[in-house]
Chains A and B, each alone.
Chain A
């Protein structure tokens, strides 16, 4: 492309490179082998929050946890485009691993701190290697422009007090990155999850594949990572990156739902013909296909804008979230409906995708929040 990919209104490369295709193939093969729907379903009713062996294979062996981390800091030095491909595959399999939370949100927050400083660099290396799972301690619904520093107060010695609700993958995390109001304003702290003064109460989540917990800090020891504008920008950029890449996960969820629905309706026979031959059904699936094809362009647009780091990224992310979140929900709802009775059973995995899609719709800003953000970004002011 000869156009400037950072100029508003132009479009970045929306295709997949050969390297991205290879990465996708590796992740897909791993998930097919270790995390098919029956395995995921069985794992959800066990006591372990996620499959540590699967996480090691994805994060460490494939190196997916370090995609966003520069090579000098122990990562792969790739970009949001590659992480988006991983998330598409994780969405297609509703895999319960802390990838979005640790390898995207926590990593991006740390990169926004001074990565040359010793503390963030060391933490990044541990996250990139998949040795540590980290989470950014914000409620999952927090939008990129949302209030992230409200729940916790920090004393001058770094002691944290307060509560953050509905933090995704908190129970799996060894490292908590905690936005807090410090003595001099907003600041970001690192807290070991196992410290005294940290209590994690798990929530019964709508989406069992992305566990939630409330975290209470009662005099927990925090290590200062960033303050003031740097802290604010680090957290906001992490949320923006998370929201933009969540669109790729939503694309993956929608893709699986459409493919499974087409497969089922082409085989299921009623009234003497495959139900997928009825126009009333095939038109719904064709309309969904168009939505999924469009969601792919929107999600790639967001990943590309985040990868190039241009000023258009907030618009591209808001567009992708506003569009892809409802597409994933629509696809999952159609999947349940067009499967008929089997779609309503616990045994069939459709419900896992429905629950993930509905949760993802709330995560990192609802579609309405992202449209409101757009109103400001593209000069379409409210009345």
Chain B
């Protein structure tokens, strides 16, 4: 088993062989991957050492101290957080070798072609078709809410391969080449004025069978791995007291005494308490994970985060009074990564509206908590055993 001492030694060797000051960033990242120090819990030969994930900070800290370049994970969140674990679990040896290294180094950005205009909360109802041809598949359909599609080299794609089966059973999981003919990416402008996301139209897109992940018809099980990792990623970051939006609201309150009212004071204090308790709840979850006792609290953290972000940003716009009437600008931007707290209060207020929709609506998450955590009986379902083609749409 690789221990911290071994990791320190390997990291020192990497730094000696490839001094960050004189090595091109991409060359360094490739060398780091090949040394097994990219994500140490991955297998040897695929950027890791089969080492405990908890030891990754040992490597990261040494490399940061040495001024080594990073792989800018914010730019490839879908790739690192969702595509990679799915490829690792379901990919063939050839797929792992081909995709994981440039994914990790950031040479190839990934996006996710899951949601459709007719399949949001009910993702398994998706209608994009993949038809079998001699040496692979031809895909037709429309995807939506695809972040990074305009920068992505590859996509993870869910498509229906058998409409005659009930909806969860007729789906397969593919890797789609975003540069292939028939892939048309169009910006999807949102209420903030910018376009973080895209609509992706797929018209006769050819995908070789070697780019299928998992068995034909088992795409839903494969997608569950992807979505599980999405929830882990969302609940992950550690924040200090007054971190995030509440810190901005508190700073505004301290800086603008002329705008203070008793009503806003009471509400700010309530939000401050809620934000601090959400921070402690996240911290408790992390302590449980560190002890190897994951609790179900993760399912709830996104709910709490979304509600808080919306309430605090709404408070901020109201507090700012005349300044709250203004907006920084409505230009159609194409941000590379999203920063919920990066712009002024009006932007934060509008962007936070998405927090209770993206990555599972709050209503669906409440169902999940009720049924999987509390064990309450499910709603009666009329769509489970019916062929997808016979479902009302």
Interface residues of A (CB under 8 A from B): 1, 8-9, 11, 13-15, 262, 265-266, 273-274, 276-279, 282-283, 285-287, 289-290, 293-298, 300-301, 319, 322-323, 368, 371-372, 374-375, 378-380, 382-383
Contacts and interface: CB of A to CB of B under 8 A. Distances in A.
B342 interface: no
Contacts of B378: 277
A319 B281 CA distance: 13
A298 to B, nearest CB: 5
A318 B279 CA distance: 15
B287 A1 contact: yes
A379 B287 contact: no
Contacts of B272: 374, 378, 380
B280 interface: yes
Given A290-B303, A371-B266, A297 B253 contact: no
B283 A14 contact: yes
B369 A9 contact: no
B376 interface: yes
B269 A371 contact: yes
Contacts of A1: 287
Interface stretch (B10-18, B142-150, B257-265): B257-265
A265 B376 contact: yes
A374 B273 contact: yes
A279 B381 CA distance: 13
Given A277-B378, A293-B297, A378-B272, A383 B261 contact: yes
Given A277-B379, A289-B300, A294 B278 contact: yes
Contacts of A322: 269-270, 273
Contact of B274 (A9, A289, A323, A379): A323
A279 B379 contact: yes
Contacts of A14: 280, 283-284, 287
Contacts of A301: 280
A114 B38 CA distance: 58
B306 to A, nearest CB: 11
Contacts of A298: 276-277, 280-281
Contacts of B373: 286, 289
A287 B283 contact: no
Interface of B: 240-242, 250, 253-254, 257, 260-262, 265-266, 268-270, 272-274, 276-281, 283-284, 287-288, 291, 293, 295-297, 300, 303-304, 363, 365-367, 369-371, 373-380
Contact of B281 (A293, A371, A378): A293
Contact of B269 (A11, A295, A296, A374): A374
Contacts of B374: 262, 282, 285-286, 289
Given A286-B365, A286-B367, 4 more contacts: A273-B377, A295-B277, A322-B269, A374-B269
A144 to B, nearest CB: 16
Contacts of A278: 379
Q: Which of A293, A371, A379 has the most CB of B within 10 A?
A: A293
A266 B377 contact: yes
A7 to B, nearest CB: 10
Contacts of B241: 8-9
5 contacts: A9-B240, A14-B284, A273-B377, A374-B272, A379-B254
B302 to A, nearest CB: 10
Contacts of A372: 269
A9 B370 contact: no
B370 A282 contact: yes
A277 to B, nearest CB: 4
A8 B241 CA distance: 8
Contacts of B262: 382-383
Contact of A282 (B261, B278, B367): B367
Contacts of B380: 273, 277
Contacts of B377: 266, 273-274, 276-277
A170 B349 CA distance: 51
Which 10 pairs show the lowest CB-CB distances between chains A and B? Answer: A9-B241, A282-B370, A383-B260, A286-B369, A297-B280, A14-B284, A290-B300, A277-B377, A371-B269, A297-B281
B41 to A, nearest CB: 21
A291 to B, nearest CB: 9
A282 B376 contact: yes
A382 B268 CA distance: 10
A15 B291 contact: yes
Nearest to B293: A15
A380 B253 contact: yes
B366 A297 contact: no
A287 B266 CA distance: 23
A374 B377 CA distance: 41
Contacts of A13: 287
B242 to A, nearest CB: 7
